[in-house]
Every structure is written in structure tokens, then in C-alpha cells.
Structure 1
Amino acid sequence: MILTITQLNKQYANGVHALKDINLTIEKGMFGLLGPNGAGKSSLMRTLATLQEADSGTITLGEINVLKEKDEVRKILGYLPQEFGVYPRTSATDLLHHLAVLKGFDQKKERTEMVDYLLQKVNLYEHRKKAVSSYSGGMRQRFGIAQCLIGSPKLVIVDEPTAGLDPGERNRFYNILSEIGEQVIVILSTHIVQDVRELCTNMAIMDKGMLLYSGTTDNALDLIKGKIFEKRVDKAELPQYQEEFQIISNKLVGGKPQIHVFSESSLNNGFIKAEETLEDVFFAKLNQLI
């Protein structure tokens, strides 16, 4: 099954043009959608999840017209939004049963087998009788994955799923998503570059409603291969370097700024060639250098 997005546009009543002629083709596997806050990622996710209308364009999932056949999409969709609420004092088991009924699973035996399987899959079975509202952030996100897998969906959308998770929970989350991505289309919307590099072979970069890049992560790195240089400088020198060079990022290392500079030609004067990262691609694209 292939997801095809063609000339998709969305403008809100306040004048914000959230999606501008978006064209994407996404096949089975993990697909990373990168962009800063306000890039249009969540608008695209909500449109794909049939939660809002588009102004123009088309989206097809296999033979399904996503914008017109919303009920058909929802039957094969799993969606984990950036934030989701839960009923207070309701256990994981009861809440999954409730959500499964809403999705059309009326047979209790079938539903019970599915709920138990999903709780085991996300390593929450031993906590199944606890209220989801009492879960830690990581446990709640794993429950979120369980609920979006009800009914063996063909398209899974996760929006900023690892924000706020500690490293251990993030790794557990990575493992679950990777396993899911072997079977279906999984779209991972995030501003955390590491998430995309570790999980996805294909990706897109968005900013201000526009698509800046679409392709493999390896091809993205090839765009800047041999063109990124780094140097640690004094804080007082930073304004001068910003005037003389195309600095795409800087961060404090040992109390001193470490700058990453984009340059088509080799740099001397203390610069060393840096290993290219998706973060460099991300910033170079946002600065329209590539």
C-alpha cells in the first residue's frame, strides 16, 4: 500500500498558510517528517488522520481517497497525537476495550485476545490493571502505541512521540516503532533529528508549510558531504564569524561555542572537516544553502 499526497494546500482563518503544494509518496516502512515548530507537520498529520479538511489537493492510500472516504481511512488508521487525554481511574485494559469497541470490535473474545496481545507487545501487560492516568510519560506513550495498533492498521501516524522521554524509554519506543515499520507505513513527525536518523530510511523536511526535501536519509547526507566544517571559538568572536561565514548551527561545548559552517571550498584557520549529520542537513535546508 502506498500513500500519495499531491498538491495539498491548507490555509487557516487567521491567514496562516500551513500547507503549500505538498507532494509526497510514502511506501511501507518508517518515514520521518522533520521540521521546526510551526513548519506544518501537525497540519499535515491532522489532514492525513481525517481530523481536518484540506483546501485543495488529493491524498490516496492505496485505492482509498483519504479526503473523501474518511470512514474507510479510519478503519485502517492508527494515530498517536502529540498529546492525548485519558479517562481518570480507568485501567489500561478497560480503556483499550472501550477504544476497540468504538473501532467496531464487538466480539468480546476476539477483543480480549487483541487487548492482551497489544499490552504485551508494548510491555504494559503487568501494569494492565493500573489507571492510565497514573502512568509515567514513557508508559503513557507506549499505551498510545497500543491504542493506535487496534485493528492492525495499514497506516500509523505518530506526532512528536519521544518529546520528554528519558533515554531508556526513548530506546524502548524506538524498538516498538521499528518493529511496526517492518509491516506498515509509519509516519514519524518530529523536530528531533536523532529520531529520524535512528529509525527512518526515508524522510522529508518541512518549513513554513513548504516541503524543502524528500528522499532517503543517505541522499540527504550526500547533499552536504565534505561541505561542513567546525571550530570552537570564543564567545566574543562569534559575531565576527557570523559575518564572515555561513554558520548553520552553534552550540556550547566546554563553555565555548562550537560552530558548524557550510562551505563549498575547504576552510583553514583552525577549521576541521566535520562528519555530516542530518542536523546539518536540516539547518542547511532551513537556511536555503542547499
Structure 2
Amino acid sequence: MSVRLFRLGIIIGFIFTPPKKSKHMILSIQNLKKQYGNGVHALKNVSLEIKTGMFGLLGPNGAGKSSLMRTLATLQEADSGEAILGDIDVLKDKDKVRRVLGYLPQEFGVYPRTSAVELLHHLAILKGFDEKKKRAEMVDYLLQKVNLFEHRKKAVSSYSGGMRQRFGIAQCLIGNPKLVIVDEPTAGLDPGERNRFYNILSEIGEQTIVILSTHIVQDVRELCNDMAIMDEGEVLYSGTTDDALALIRDKVFAKKVNKEELTQYQQDYRVISNKLVGGKPQIHVFSESPLNSGFAKAEETLEDVFFAKLNQLI
């Protein structure tokens, strides 16, 4: 068994019960700090309040998202601060956290020739599910929930990317967790698999805290009501997606420009972002007042909020 798989296994819940309407749960994170031995400040006074439902954590690579997720998943120590899940001290009561936690990292290992049903049974046994009948009921339920029951006898290593991610969610749900953490779950998935994954996450989020760590803005917009933006270990924004959009409403203007003009526009305007549209750069500019000279008001998007925050324009 791979070390990576074992580490995933130790943080899956211990007691399986069919889903019930859970009590309102809050994860309160206060002044969390983490500095690595190479001097990198991965977390700088991170404070967030996360309630039941889907919570999106946005940020570029190196923003500190994975460091925060690993800390909450009890895989690394914080230097200082606190994190409280309901009445559980996440940083001190690691065993209690692991009983109510489901974690899907970016990558997880599997046995080369082991079927989905065998692997889930194996993980469940590691977690103390000794009664064969109840364990079988749990495994069948989870495989049906993630739409893999018909493929249960196939080796997980033969699954497509989307199927493997759905299997990862099944692992997360052993024990009916109160907190589910998924780290960059849709990278590399085709549109159909992404939609299936979205549907599963949305259903889970109806009664569980689900933290979705990603750099894909679309994931957060489609799934989450609450969100945060991180960069270089700091929280730049925390609130609802609607409030985030309100920050730039009627303040974003778009224009297609020539490539050779791009540098000058970046000097003259508060450019949020630029991307090629029909082979020609289209810039989005932040402005408190209307712009003329060929600019058109653009509909605000979460992507504009994201880049405006990263570029310190708002």
C-alpha cells in the first residue's frame, strides 16, 4: 500500500451512518501562521469563518491554499493560531478531527490491480469497520452515490481521471464526515466529468462543510456561495461571491487593442487582465468612472475580482 494512500486513509471517518440533516457547523480559523524551514511564510495570520455549505478557496499556485488544507487535515503543524470545528480544536485534537474529516488531495495512490469495491473495503477495515454486513452496505452505498457501482469490479488504476476523482470522493465520505476538503479536484477533467463532479460536491455541501481549494475561478462561481481569495499566504478577500462581484460592478471596461499597444495601455490604465480574443488582446480595465476611447462596459465576473485583488486594484 502506498504511503500516500495510507495517509489519505488515516483521515477518513471512523463511523458510517446514512446521511442525515446535520446541525449547523462552523469552522473558525483565527490568525493561523506557518513558516517552512526554507523561510517561506506559507500562512500569514489567516483568519476565516466557514459554515455548512460549499466554500471556495481561490488563489494562484503558491498562494498558501494547500498549506492551509494540509494544516486543517492534520497533515502538518501550524506555528501559531487556532482552528475550531464545532467544539473540536483542530490543531490539538487531531484524532477527533480525523473521525469527522474527509480529505481528497490533488493526487492519491492506488493499488495497481485492486478494484474499487476491494479498495473501499480495505480502507474501511483500516478505519475499524469490522462488521462485514455493515461495511458491505456502506461500500455499496458510496459506490452508488458517486455513480461507480457498475464499475466497482474494475481496477481503480484503470479509471479515467473523472472516475478516479469520484472514487476519491467515495473515500472522503466513509464515516459521513462533517468537514470535507478537496484540493484542486477538477484539474485535467473533461467538461462532462467536471459537471458530474460538481453535482456530487453540491449534494455533499447541502449538509457538510466542503472546502474547495482551486485556482479555477469557474469552479467557485458555479459551486460556492462563500469564498476567499489567497495570495502569498494572506487572505485578500473573504465573503460571498455576490459581494465580491459587487466590488467591481459597473467599474470594469473592455477593449480590443493591438499587441504593440498593450504595454502603453498597461502604463496608462489600471489593467485587470488581458487575454487573446480572436487572436487580438482584449484588456479589462478597472475604473471608478466611465471610459471612452473605444472602451465598452463589461459584465463583472469573478475572474475580474480575482485578478483585481491579486493586482491590488481593489
TM-score above 0.5, yes or no = yes
1:257 aligns with 2:257: no
Normalised to the residue count of structure 1, the TM-score between the two structures is 0.99
- Paired residue total: 290
Shift of 1:136: 0.6
Helix, strand or coil for the counterpart of 1:189? strand
1:68 aligns with 2:86: no
After TM superposition, the structure 1 stretch with the greater mean CA deviation from structure 2, 96-105 or 114-123, is 96-105
Identify the match of residue 157 of structure 1 among 165, 181, 186: 181
Q: Kindly provide the amino acid, as one letter, of the partner of residue 194 in structure 1.
A: Q
Identify the match of residue 39 of structure 2 among 15, 30, 38: 15
Identify the match of residue 3 of structure 1 among 27, 33, 39: 27
Shift of 1:88: 1.1
* Identity across matched positions, percent: 82
Gapped regions of structure 2 (runs ≥ 5): 1-24
1:232 aligns with 2:248: no
Shift of 1:87: 1.0
Query: 1:1-290 counterparts in 2 under 5 A?
Result: 1-290=25-314
Show CA shifts across 1:51-90 (max 9, x none). 0000000111111111111011001100000111111100
Helix, strand or coil for the counterpart of 1:257? strand
Aligned partners of 1:155, 1:125: CA distance in 2, in Å? 24
Helix, strand or coil for the counterpart of 2:76? coil
Helix, strand or coil for the counterpart of 2:38? coil
Helix, strand or coil for the counterpart of 1:96? helix
Shift of 1:248: 1.0
Are 1:75 and 1:103, in contact at CA under 8 Å, matched by a contact in 2? no
Runs of 4+ in structure 1 off by over 6 angstroms are none
Aligned partners of 1:205, 1:176: CA distance in 2, in Å? 24
Normalised to the residue count of structure 2, the TM-score between the two structures is 0.92
Show CA shifts across 1:107-126 (max 9, x none). 11111001001101111001
Aligned partners of 1:289, 1:67: CA distance in 2, in Å? 35
Aligned partners of 2:267, 2:97: CA distance in 1, in Å? 51
Shift of 1:265: 1.0
Q: Kindly provide the amino acid, as one letter, of the partner of residue 13 in structure 1.
A: G
Q: CA RMSD in A?
A: 0.6
